[in-house]
Amino acid sequence: MHYMIEEIREEKDLLDKYSTEHKKDSELALNHIEKSNGCIISGNGTSYNAAYYLSLLLLKRDVLSVPVFASEFNKFMNAEFSFKNREVILFSQSGETSDIISAANFGKGKGASIMSICNVPGSSLSRLSDISIITPAGHEKSVAATKSHLGQLLSSLSIYFAREPDEFRKLLGKVKEGFEVIMKRGNEIKTIAERLLPKVVLLGSGLDYPVAREGALKLKETCSMITEAYPTREFLHGPKQILDDSWSVLILSNEEEVKQELSKLSRNVLDLNAIIHEEFKIRFHSEIADSILKVLFVQLLSYYRAVFLGLDPDKPSKLTKVITS
């Protein structure tokens, strides 16, 4: 048994944890964020995808927020940029990644308030933070982050819904129902994974875009596949040129015209909305609930594909769990 699939299964417990525990730190975080003059949100890899997701959520709350790769943080935030009254929000599973630590030190040095969302209590990042939020995903063994990423997204939602706890619980209940259905349809996801062509492009709009990015990253890490991720319609503005019958297209967001157009170029265009809502019969609840279910789907897709290829998804040959170099 691989850790990756065990950790994906543990995501159900994580949903329960967020439904039952009232998160006081989320209210504190939202107050801070709303009082600030905008947020710079950062992370690497999977944690960057969480940063992107939170920045989209905060825009929905009328908070100006910009996602920045932690590895680019010091270069992007040059001498002209003022951190005065800005909130720096840093995501990290480990809290020890060198890029995130240097972003935290850089922000602190410039007088910014640092908030972190981290999976390891007492980590270097948590200790450097003015506000430290811990994702209760527990120790994650697989190099491919899964449950910790769900924790990052749920903590982001917990901040977003800090003043609407009932709505958050209702949403989590719906996600849990969908989660159980998707887990039961594992064999169908396995078949989809086995039929993927050697290269995959994932397309998603709104909250589905960071999910598409995460799916592309998971397939790279666990299966060494060539993958791309684009906002759905953005793919038409040039990148479409790469498409041929060696590419699968996984469309996360409903765009019928795009689907029709791309189906003329690739024989393997998959519509994730059709899969989860029509085939799996999961009732649509909201864009947010859908985005979380799609995270689960792309995680399972990567897992099954890796197993099909005879690869160990827990230990990609060229990666380590924490990048400190």
> What is the footprint of ligand AGP within residues 138-177 (CB under 6 A)?
143-145
Exposed, middle or buried: residue 138 (CB in 10 Å: 0-12, 13-18, 19+)? middle
User: Site mask, ligand AGP, residues 33-62, x = CB under 6 A?
Assistant: -----------xxxx---------------
Question: Looking at the DSSP assignment, which residues form a beta bridge with residue 200?
Answer: 227, 248
CB of 145 to ligand AGP, least distance (A): 4
Provide the minimum distance between the beta carbon of 45 and ligand AGP in the complex, in angstroms, as a whole number. 2
Q: Note whether 94 binds ligand AGP by CB under 6 A.
A: yes
> CA 54 to CA 192: how far, in whole Å?
29
- Reported as half-sphere exposure (CB side, CA atoms, 13 A), residue 54 has a value of 38
Secondary structure (3-state) at 199: strand
How buried is residue 11: exposed, middle or buried, by Cβ count under 10 Å (0-12/13-18/19+)?
Answer: buried
- State yes or no: residue 7 binds ligand AGP (CB under 6 A): no
Nearer to ligand AGP, 117 or 171 (CB): 117
Nearest distance, CB of residue 320 and ligand AGP, angstroms: 8
Q: Is 227 in the site for ligand AGP (CB under 6 A)?
A: no
Strands 199-203 and 226-230: parallel
The neighbouring-strand residues paired with 39 are 65, 87
Task: Give the span between the Cα atoms of 211 and 199, in whole angstroms.
Answer: 18
Nearer to ligand AGP, 136 or 173 (CB): 136
CB atoms within 10 A of CB 320: 10
In the complex, the smallest distance separating the C-beta of residue 59 from ligand AGP, rounded to whole angstroms, is 23
Return the range that interacts with ligand AGP (CB under 6 A); candidates 87-95, 107-115, 225-233, 255-263. 87-95
Q: Which residues, 275 to 304, sit near ligand AGP by CB under 6 A? A: none
Please report, as ranges, the residues that interact with ligand AGP according to CB under 6 A.
44-47, 92-94, 97, 100, 143-145, 221, 322-323
